[in-house]
Each structure stands twice: as C-alpha cells, then as structure tokens.
Amino acid sequence: MSRPTALTAAAALALGAGLAVLPTQAQAATVVVSNATDLSNAIKNATAGTVIQVRGGTYYPTATLQSTANGTSSSPVTLTAYGSETVKIDGSNLPDGDWILKLTADYWNVSHLTFQNSPDSAVVCQSCTGTNWNDVKTINGGDSGFTLTGDGTVNNTVKNLDSYGNYDAANHGENADGVAVKYGSGTGNVITGARLYNNSDDGIDFWSFSSPVTVEHTWSFGNGENRWGDAAFAGDGNGYKLGGDGEVVAHVVNNSAAWDNAGNGFTENSNTGAIVINRTTAYANGNWGYYFATGAAKLGRNLAVSNGSGKATYGSSVTSYMNNWDSGVATPSFVSTDATTAYSARASNGSLPATTFLTTGSTTIGATMN
C-alpha cells in the first residue's frame, strides 16, 4: 500500500474528513537585553511564554516600562535578571509623576530586580491576575514602592520584597507606603517574606481594597519617621494599616512583626471587618501595639512590648485570646532587642535573614521572626 499524502486543511474539510492541519505553534522566545530601549520593547512586545533576561547593570528608562500582554497559567511571561547578575532599573530620567514599571496584565513572573529612584510609585500592577513577584526591591521612590490596585486583582503573590525609603515630597510623606494594596478588589492576594521599612507613610496599606489580603512572615519597621527634613511632614507611620474608606473586609496577618513605627504597629484603620491577627509581635511603636477600636477583629497569640500608648486597645466586638495583654498570659523575654541583623542580606533563597531579634523561643505566642 502506498503511503498516504498529507492533505491541506481545505482539502480535508472538502472531503468531509473533519480534519484540519494546523501550523505548529512557534516556541516562545527568550530575549536577553542589555539596554533600556531593548528592555522597554521586550516588556511591551512580550507574549505568553516569553522569557526576558536582563543583563547586569543600571538601566535608566525615559518612559514607563509597561505592558498589557498576558501570559497564561502554564506559559507565564518571565522578567528576571540574567543568571546571578545584579540589575537596577533607575527612574531618575523619567518625567515627574511617572512609574518605573506598570503591568496591566496576567500571569507574569518578575524576579531578582531592583527598582529605584522613581518619580512616583516604582512598580504598579493594575487589575492583574496570577502574577508572582520574588526577590524584588523598590527603593527611594516618590510614592509607594510596590502597588497592587484595581478591580480584578486576583491571585497575585509578592514574595521576599524589600521596599524602603519611599517618600512623596509633594504630599509631605502622606502617601508613600512600602506596599500599597489599594482601590480595588480581588481574592487570593498574598504578601509573604517582605521587609517594609523607613517609608514616609505606612509599611503596608490596604486603604479602599474590598477583598481579603493575606500577609505572613513579614517585617514592617521604622515607617513614618521624618527622615527628609520636611517641616510639614504628614506620614502616619503605621506598620500594618488594614483598611479604610468604609470597606468591611477580613484581612489576615500571620507570624509577622512591627517595630519602631511612628504610629501603631497593627491597626484596623476603621475597617470593621473580622480581621485576623495571629502570632505577631508589636515592639516599640510610637502609639499602640494593636489598635482595633471599632471592628470585629480576632486577635490571637500576639505579643506587645514597649509601645508608646500601650499594648492594645480594642472594642467590645473584638475577640482577644492568648495575647500577652489577656489575663493569665505571661510575656516571654526577647532573646535580643538589637535590630542590626534585621537589615542583613537575605539568604541565598531570598528568605529573610536569620536573626535572634524579637525572638523568644515560645511555641505559642509572638512572631517567630523567620
């Protein structure tokens, strides 16, 4: 029998075979870039599965790097440093009010990059789904370092972020947070392993975000201090600002710490939802360790020490159990109150540095600081 010949799609359909020969999908490209123009084009023109590798050095884009190109859950777009090289993307040459990176896109993986000196927010992910951010730094920007915003903000993970030194001069420090999850909605968003410090406003701010966000293994410290000599300084300085603008939402914070913030360590900020705060530590904050005056928060196994206004203040709708301000619960001693090692380099896998600062050895109360 002779070998059958291939049919074109049109011929196959004409014969009623019900078959169409489709072209093989082209393999997604790996793009290696080494200048700001190529970086901008690679981000803008990415398609599902594209891998963008950025060679080491400092890049000075002259316009916001942005994309609306979606990856997929099985073929995300990847934006990362080349190998182990150090990449800094610097916003010093951007026009006033510009961001460094804006994604309005789904399924991107962004890792091992530093975004610094932005005129406004450094990184903004707007109405994104399924993005993953790992070992990213947002430093010395003109508004919040890292922002998730918009409706349809779903299943995004921010892991091992360092965000510090952000200050909005035009508003005298009133708006610049380490992480802002604001003005939007969407479930499944997680912040884990972050260090949010020395920002002019709050470490983390969930103002006007109407869906629960989970925070875990995160440190927020030194926020709200006037480090910029601003005579009209207006930063709030909360470690964790968990609401506002009338939204009622049950955010969750697990195994995290707040210290040396000018305001409260942890606060509902008028959010009357059933916020869950579990095994956290508030140390040496300027106001309360925990401020939950109007909501229905659930506070469990938390540790407050040496806060300016006291350990905690909360209303009658709050559930408080096994915290060190509850009857019969002892306050364990800290191994160390020297925060020096909290600023150390991260581990090789990007996790928080090893420290004995604010550790107690307790298996039941307070953050484990890892």
In the structure, what pLDDT confidence band is assigned to residue 315 with cuts at 50, 70 and 90? very high
Whether residue 44 lies inside any domain: the answer is no
Give the Cα separation of 29 and 269 in Å (integer).
Answer: 46
Question: Is the per-residue pLDDT at 325 higher than 50?
Answer: yes
**Residue 159 is a catalytic residue:** no
Q: What is the pLDDT of residues 176-207, one digit of tens each?
A: 999 999 999 999 999 999 999 999 999 999 99
What pLDDT is stored for residue 6 in this prediction?
Answer: 38
Which of 137, 159, 182, 241 is labelled catalytic?
241
Percentage of the chain surpassing pLDDT 70? 92
Q: What is the pLDDT of residues 284-304, one digit of tens each?
A: 999 999 999 999 999 999 999
Question: Is the per-residue pLDDT at 64 higher than 70?
Answer: yes
Whether residue 358 lies inside any domain: the answer is no
What CATH number does the domain containing 241 carry?
2.160.20.10
Task: Please enumerate in sequence order all residues whose Cβ is within 8 A of that of 235, keeping only pairs 6 or more positions apart, or say none.
Answer: 172, 173, 174, 176, 199, 200, 201, 202, 223, 224, 225, 226, 262
Whether residue 166 lies inside any domain: the answer is yes
Q: What average pLDDT does this structure show over 42-61?
A: 98
What pLDDT is stored for residue 165 in this prediction?
Answer: 98
* Nearest residue to 235 (alpha-carbon basis) of 116, 146, 143, 120: 143
Structure tokens at 60: 């000075």
Give the Cα separation of 268 and 111 in Å (integer).
Answer: 31
Q: What is the pLDDT of residues 211-265, one digit of tens each?
A: 999 999 999 999 999 999 999 999 999 999 999 999 999 999 999 999 999 999 9
Q: What average pLDDT does this structure show over 75-99?
A: 98
CB atoms within 10 A of CB 15: 10
For residue 291, give the H/E element and its range.
Answer: strand 288-292
CB atoms within 10 A of CB 320: 17
Question: Is the per-residue pLDDT at 77 higher than 80?
Answer: yes
Whether residue 291 lies inside any domain: the answer is yes
The string of DSSP letters for 132-198 reads EEEEEEEES-SS-SEEEEETT-BS-EEES-EEE----GGGTTSS--SEEEEEE--S-EEEES-EEES
Structural contact between residues 154 and 188, judged by C-beta atoms closer than 8 angstroms:
yes
What pLDDT is stored for residue 8 in this prediction?
Answer: 36
Domain containing residue 269: 120-343
Structure tokens at 35: 């200048």
* Nearest residue to 182 (alpha-carbon basis) of 251, 136, 258: 251
In the structure, what pLDDT confidence band is assigned to residue 27 with cuts at 50, 70 and 90? low
Q: What is the pLDDT of residues 265-289, one digit of tens each?
A: 999 999 999 999 999 999 999 999 9
Task: Please enumerate in sequence order all residues whose Cβ is within 8 A of that of 66, keeping only pairs 6 or more positions apart, or say none.
Answer: 43, 44, 101, 102, 103, 104
What pLDDT is stored for residue 10 in this prediction?
Answer: 37
Structural contact between residues 241 and 265, judged by C-beta atoms closer than 8 angstroms:
no
Whether residue 39 lies inside any domain: the answer is no
Residues in the chain: 370
Whether residue 311 lies inside any domain: the answer is yes
Give the Cα separation of 306 and 259 in Å (integer).
Answer: 10
Give the Cα separation of 255 and 158 in Å (integer).
Answer: 16
Question: How many domains are there within the chain?
Answer: 1
* Nearest residue to 139 (alpha-carbon basis) of 86, 199, 227: 199
Give the Cα separation of 338 and 64 in Å (integer).
Answer: 40
Give the Cα separation of 30 and 291 in Å (integer).
Answer: 49
Q: Is the pTM of this model over 0.95?
A: no
What pLDDT is stored for residue 15 in this prediction?
Answer: 34
Question: Is the per-residue pLDDT at 20 higher than 60?
Answer: no
Give the Cα separation of 49 and 39 in Å (integer).
Answer: 16
Cα diameter, the chain: 92
Backbone angles phi, psi at 112, to 5 degrees: 60, 40
Whether residue 293 lies inside any domain: the answer is yes
Q: Exposed, middle or buried by CB within 10 Å (0-12, 13-18, 19+), for 26?
A: exposed
Q: What angle do CA 206, 268, 309 make, to 5 degrees?
A: 125
Whether residue 302 lies inside any domain: the answer is yes
Q: What is the pLDDT of residues 115-170, one digit of tens each?
A: 999 999 999 999 999 999 999 999 999 999 999 999 999 999 999 999 999 999 99
